[in-house]
Structure 1
């Protein structure tokens, strides 16, 4: 049975595993596993005993071709990390090509225009998850709908600002003509000064990086911070955060480079000051460990008294030789 989805991220030849499981794109592994088990139980043959042959085949196809591959990709740490890095970069590319992006559902349009995008996105995903697999014949269009929400959310978190003039399918955003006075005002008033696009994008990079760092997803956090530094090389916060990432990855030289850069740009950068101190203590501790493992000189009465003449591993030096002769 062929399964084809042509909306949302799927439209751009990207397999949206989060949409298949109906979990937020930043869901942790525990949430992903819990959701997978619920779907797998619903689609398992033992749960479809009263279903028609058509429904049984559809359930089997959904489980084997969509649900199981999605869980396999998102449940393994290495493949999950790689997938999330690609997903993050994909969202940024969509922002660059936003003129050609098409949004077809009302919920996705609301998300594109919402001020509280994060809250609206999570509420929508949770609501859809409640009934996603109730009707198996509707599962594919529902997954397509979720993927469209994921696409818009990725674009918003990557810095895209939709407006009535720039958002896809903007004529249907408010269900009225553009000139109508009855349209719902979901955007900032034109008189309000728009934030600097570059500054806003950098802030988004830093915010995402910090969220990833709290989840210990360091590889992805580093990608976000590297992009922030490319866009704003004199942003001390970006340098101090990437220094923390490098230090947690045990790359002390790179960590030091970025901490020093952050402090040069802003001598009061609290993150750089705190972690530079930790880096120095760590370096000193490692240096001290190397000194402690050096063999201590075996001189003096106490040292000679502890030597066993018949222990070849400790029989070096004059005391060892004399002990051997006496025996």
Structure 2
């Protein structure tokens, strides 16, 4: 699938990360992350609803080559600050060129002539993004449409007025005695795309550290919906079940974690604990059976009602 996007800010050789993720330009990180997790669930091979193998591969390609880089740009503090500064400069440029740009979409034309820019813009973005990732064929055209809305919005704002202040530019005080900084190496790309379940895992681990196992279980179940074959998800929820004395469920998830990753340290530790619990339970059962056997062998054989516990209470033979 081609990623050539011939509309909106992409016409200016600018990668519109907000359009790719389907969020407004003034979206905060919480909103960006929530939107990314929804998209990742639509496109990830384990949760994608596409039926054919080729469509699943195309969806994963879009996730790894288009969506993940956009999310990375907007989720890392420094790169996001840099990106928003560039966006502000783009807005100043568009303020002078907007009238000469031919708009293709009706919503963009309405925004161009609207008096209530912010309200119309937010409403248009919400409307367009509803079906952005429901069909592989519509993804690129809808990204282009969103980016055209962003282009008009930036041009109308003139690079100011939109909430770029949500991202704080770090102040840098130069040291007069320091040497000029050497050119920094280019940032390295991650070896694999970020896991959509990662935020859930972090929250679950934080809750587990506070012994809040019930809400941790909820987070981990949500993580497994996104990534059913994530060994870490299974090992953690297995640990939670162990802490809640639910050995059967713990065994199911810990065994699954070890199937996926035989070296998973959390699952290995959980397996050792399960083995110890099983051994202890077996020893207790054997001891209980032995005690019961001894008790039965020592009990005298007496006619009914002539002794034993109740005989001792209510009297023995009549004289």
- TM-score normalised by length of structure 1: 0.50
Unaligned runs of 5+ in 1: 160-203, 220-245, 252-327
The residue that corresponds to 1:241 in the other structure is none
CA distance in 1, matches of 2:50, 2:89: 44
The residue that corresponds to 2:79 in the other structure is 79
Aligned length: 174
Are 2:20 and 2:70, in contact at CA under 8 Å, matched by a contact in 1?
Answer: yes
Q: CA offset at residue 77 of structure 1?
A: 0.5
Alignment of 1:71-110 (within 5 A): 71-110=71-110
The correspondence for 1:217, drawn from 157, 162, 168, is 168
Change (3 A) 1:150 1:28: same
Change (3 A) 1:50 1:138: closer
The residue that corresponds to 2:290 in the other structure is none
Are 2:91 and 2:155, in contact at CA under 8 Å, matched by a contact in 1?
Answer: yes
Change (3 A) 1:107 1:136: same
Q: CA offset at residue 216 of structure 1?
A: 5.6
CA distance in 2, matches of 1:20, 1:137: 14
Alignment of 1:188-199 (within 5 A): none
Pairwise CA RMSD of aligned residues?
2.1
CA distance in 2, matches of 1:6, 1:121: 21
Are 1:212 and 1:218, in contact at CA under 8 Å, matched by a contact in 2?
Answer: no
CA distance in 1, matches of 2:20, 2:50: 24
CA distance in 2, matches of 1:137, 1:56: 13
Unaligned runs of 5+ in 2: 175-319
- 1:127 equivalent in alignment to 2:127: yes
| Structure number with bigger Rg | 2
Q: Secondary structure at the match of 2:46?
A: helix
Are 1:19 and 1:146, in contact at CA under 8 Å, matched by a contact in 2?
Answer: yes
Change (3 A) 1:76 1:216: closer
The runs of at least 4 aligned residues of structure 1 exceeding 6 Å deviation read none
Question: Higher relative CO (CA 8 A, sep ≥ 6), structure 1 or 2?
Answer: 2
Q: Secondary structure at the match of 1:104?
A: coil
CA distance in 1, matches of 2:57, 2:157: 38
